[in-house]
Amino acid sequence: MSAVETSILSADAYVQDLLRAAEAQSAIGKFSRRAFLKVTGLAGGGLVLAFYVGEQGMALANGKAQEFAPNAFLRVAPNGTITLYSKAPEIGQGIKTAFPMIIAEELDADWAHVKVEQAAINPAVYGRQSAGGSRSIPMSWDQLRRAGAVGRAMLVSAAAKQWNVSESECTTENSTVFHKASKRKATYASLATGAAALPVPDEKSVKLKTRAEYKLLGKRIGGVDNHAIVTGQPLFGIDQVVPGMQYAVFVKCPAVGGKVVAANLEEIRKLPGVTQAFVLEGTGKPTEVMPGVAILARSTWAAFSARQKLQVKWDESTASKDSWSAFVEQAKKLASQSGPDSLRNTGDVDKVFAESKPVEAFYSYPFIAHAPLEPQNTTASFKDGAVEIWSPTQTPEAGVKLVADVLGIAPEKVTLHQTRVGGGFGRRLMNDYMCEAAAIAKQAGVPVKLQWTREDDMHHDFFRVGGFHSFKGGLDKSGKLVAWQDHFITFTQDGQRPTSGGDLSPDEFPAQLLPNARLTQTKLPLKIPTGPWRAPRSCSIAFATQSFLHECAVAAKRDHLEFLLEVMGEPRWLQPGNEFALNTGRAAAVIKLAAEKAGWGRSLPKGRGLGLAFHFSHAGHFAEVAEVSVDANRKLTVHRVVVAGDIGPIINMSGAENQTEGAVIDGFSAAMGQQIDFENGRIVQNNFDAYPILRIASAPKVESYFFESDFTPTGVGEPALPPVAPAIANAIFAATGHRVRSMPFTSEGYTV
């Protein structure tokens, strides 16, 4: 195996590490590490609180614990300004509003006068600072509540001391402490300096509010950056400007793994506006810097124009030769067999299949791109052995460490500023573009803004991996589902384990609930990089499993709702105490709620149908019912999608509803028309003409219902997405009798 091939493989291992870190399931609602609060000084006085985390257990955390915390969760200034710091990247999931809401609730701060700022990257102070796996809320819920509650306790102490009354007689509301008995009150502003002089109580000792006491959480609160967004202020990575910066493009081999043999750099350097052009050997890892040509210019347009004239001779001897059409042919041939890897084998599926003819079907779904609307970019300035970076990333901590590795400098020499992110969807868990900008800036000796084109973005993604499922389902005499077999055909980079995002859990629904189940796996060799895409695995697997489950219900001549509830069985939590494990009681509740709200069972005119699907992922139980019409030309209209979810208490109702509305539209958009083809290692699609994002006319009405159970609150960025595609596919069947077994639906002749 060549060095480049080895590099590509280790890149996949790194992506898998990122995904594992994003989806870590440490105890939620509890502090798993020693942590305590410190008061730090603030110029001009006032109260500043920072959590100081004594140990860092995170694999990707950067840097050692610092004695002094330069940043904090909250600041109360004597002039009345309350500043709350949001520690994690804002990628459109609404965390920059949700995080401070949690702090403000426990602090009893007046939300109307709170200022929210993006925190600096400092995991020693803040703990987890990434956006992925829908983990922001569950992993930070306790930490942020206690940050606010400690602040409140200290302000109350300061007031009680000033009035010489007992703390227990004081109450708080709207950034004010009250002593009702003596009709006294003091604003947090007036108490800030006094509070700062007090010892910090143990955060475990402070009393947290009960849900009944919440005034802010659960309300509909608008995004804190909304005004800046509607007035076009510079918020995003692409908007950053550094004095003296030049504009860069970076051209890589269209087939991953290709190296630069020669390029017409002399000619390029003479083009108008061009300042430099050079080859970067890179590290050979798609997660870092692949070999390519950097062109620097005095404007983005000059750089874009110059690249049109660039001619590169690539050595593709070790580059990808992957072909999607060849993979499809291979998979079809393997469909009738079992796979060599056994993932699960419980009971005796063969006995069931021998007793009655099994239901059989073959499902497929393609590779897809993330296509965030903001193409990858980063601004970087390298000076005196240190680099300063402005980047839209989902994993800033990991980015700092990676840039340090790539440049061969210490992580302390990397300063990363978090910008707002123009769409994440999992793409920006990888920081390849950040590494490229840093490497180009170092080589060029001037600050640079690296700007990928849309075509770069579509060609050099870490794609959602495609896959195939060859199913058999076994019914008993009463029409009950008792056996499930899935030969899962996926891909591998290293020949050992499935490529990132392409693994099937042995506990995948519904195998885990059935007495007889056999899951086997075949892995086809692949070089094109893959990675997590919104609700990794679930975003594709749910389409296959939830559609095939419906096929089984139809074969049993039973109502899908009743059939699905029977599969869930008695209400039980498969791993009590672990929110990331299926709870069939919560599942049944959302399934019933979605069915009820959608009017399940009502008769509909010809060509119109209801489809149901459920999926559990990222600690969220979600059921959805789609109402779909199909005309004679297979033109689809998705009239309405009803979403019922249980993610515990809702932090920001407006944000949660926005996420479910978006997840439905994103899920439909991907299922309907998105596919990345590749031949000879080259991605075929270039831009949105060939890679359609759903447009407004096709967007269904979305109704969201949340259970708001008393379980620990969990995230909503991902789990509402997986049920959409199968709900629509099942509705198409209900409307027409035609079973859709592959995504995108356009491949089966459907249009919107």
Partner 1 sequence: MRLNINGKEHVVNDVAEDTPLLWVLRDHLGLVGAKYGCGVALCGACTVHLNGAPVRSCSIRASAVEGQQITTIEGLASQDGKLNAVQAAWIEHDVAQCGYCQAGQIMAATALLKSNPKPTDADIDSAMAGNLCRCGTYTRIRKAIHAAAEKLSGEMVSQN
For partner 1, the binding residues (CB under 8 A) are 90-94, 220-223, 225-227, 229-236, 238-239, 241, 247, 272-273, 298-302, 304-305, 371-375, 420-425, 451, 453-454, 654-655, 658-659, 661-666, 669, 687-689, 693-697, 699, 701-702
How many Å apart are CA 431 and CA 612, to the nearest integer? 38
- Cβ–Cβ under 8 Å, residues 316 and 261: no
- Cβ–Cβ under 8 Å, residues 292 and 279: yes
Nearest distance in Å: CB 120, partner 1: 21
How many Å apart are CA 99 and CA 77, to the nearest integer? 20
Would you say 425 or 750 has its CB closer to partner 1?
425
Q: How many CA atoms lie within 13 A of 388 on its CB side?
A: 11
Q: 3-state class of 629 per DSSP?
A: strand
How many Å apart are CA 601 and CA 316, to the nearest integer? 57
How many Å apart are CA 534 and CA 134, to the nearest integer? 9
Would you say 48 or 437 has its CB closer to partner 1?
437
Non-local (6+) Cβ contacts of 113 within 8 A are 80, 81, 82, 175
Minimal CA–CA distance to 432: which of 381, 384, 392?
Answer: 392
Q: How many CA atoms lie within 13 A of 487 on its CB side?
A: 16
Q: Which two tokens stand for residue 88?
A: 């994690």
Nearest distance in Å: CB 654, partner 1: 5
Would you say 94 or 501 has its CB closer to partner 1?
94
Minimal CA–CA distance to 206: which of 157, 169, 162, 161?
Answer: 157
Nearest distance in Å: CB 226, partner 1: 5
Nearest distance in Å: CB 475, partner 1: 37
Would you say 276 or 658 has its CB closer to partner 1?
658
448-451 and 246-252 beta bridge pairing: parallel
- Cβ–Cβ under 8 Å, residues 318 and 1: no
Nearest distance in Å: CB 540, partner 1: 18
Nearest distance in Å: CB 256, partner 1: 23
Would you say 272 or 601 has its CB closer to partner 1?
272
Minimal CA–CA distance to 552: which of 345, 742, 361?
Answer: 361
Q: Can you give the three-state secondary structure of 695-751, one letter per residue?
A: CHHHCCEEEEEECCCCCCCCCCCCCCCCCHHHHHHHHHHHHHCCCCCECCHHHHCCE
Q: 3-state class of 593 per DSSP?
A: helix
Nearest distance in Å: CB 67, partner 1: 37
- Cβ–Cβ under 8 Å, residues 539 and 667: yes
Nearest distance in Å: CB 659, partner 1: 8
Nearest distance in Å: CB 677, partner 1: 19
Non-local (6+) Cβ contacts of 600 within 8 A are 561, 594, 610, 612, 625
Nearest distance in Å: CB 531, partner 1: 17
Would you say 588 or 641 has its CB closer to partner 1?
641
Non-local (6+) Cβ contacts of 712 within 8 A are 28, 29, 138, 141, 579, 648
Nearest distance in Å: CB 236, partner 1: 6
Nearest distance in Å: CB 717, partner 1: 10
How many Å apart are CA 592 and CA 615, to the nearest integer? 14
Nearest distance in Å: CB 91, partner 1: 6
Would you say 117 or 476 has its CB closer to partner 1?
117
Tokens 């257990």 sit on residue? 57
Nearest distance in Å: CB 460, partner 1: 16
Angle between helices 560-568 and 538-555 (to 10 degrees): 110
Q: What residue type is assigned to position 320 of the chain?
A: S
Non-local (6+) Cβ contacts of 25 within 8 A are 578, 580
Would you say 216 or 513 has its CB closer to partner 1?
216
Minimal CA–CA distance to 85: which of 111, 56, 131, 120?
Answer: 120
Nearest distance in Å: CB 585, partner 1: 30
- Cβ–Cβ under 8 Å, residues 731 and 610: yes
Would you say 218 or 662 has its CB closer to partner 1?
662
Would you say 425 or 706 has its CB closer to partner 1?
425
- Cβ–Cβ under 8 Å, residues 141 and 102: yes
Would you say 56 or 669 has its CB closer to partner 1?
669
Note the Cα 229 to chain centre separation in Å.
22
Cis before 744 (ω within 30): yes
Nearest distance in Å: CB 72, partner 1: 26
Range 255-268 burial, b when 16+ CB lie within 10 A, else e:
bbbbbbeebebeeb
Would you say 421 or 650 has its CB closer to partner 1?
421
Nearest distance in Å: CB 287, partner 1: 23
Would you say 289 or 656 has its CB closer to partner 1?
656
Cis before 571 (ω within 30): no
Would you say 120 or 653 has its CB closer to partner 1?
653
Would you say 129 or 669 has its CB closer to partner 1?
669
H-helix or E-strand spanning residue 255? none
Note the Cα 82 to chain centre separation in Å.
30
Nearest distance in Å: CB 617, partner 1: 18
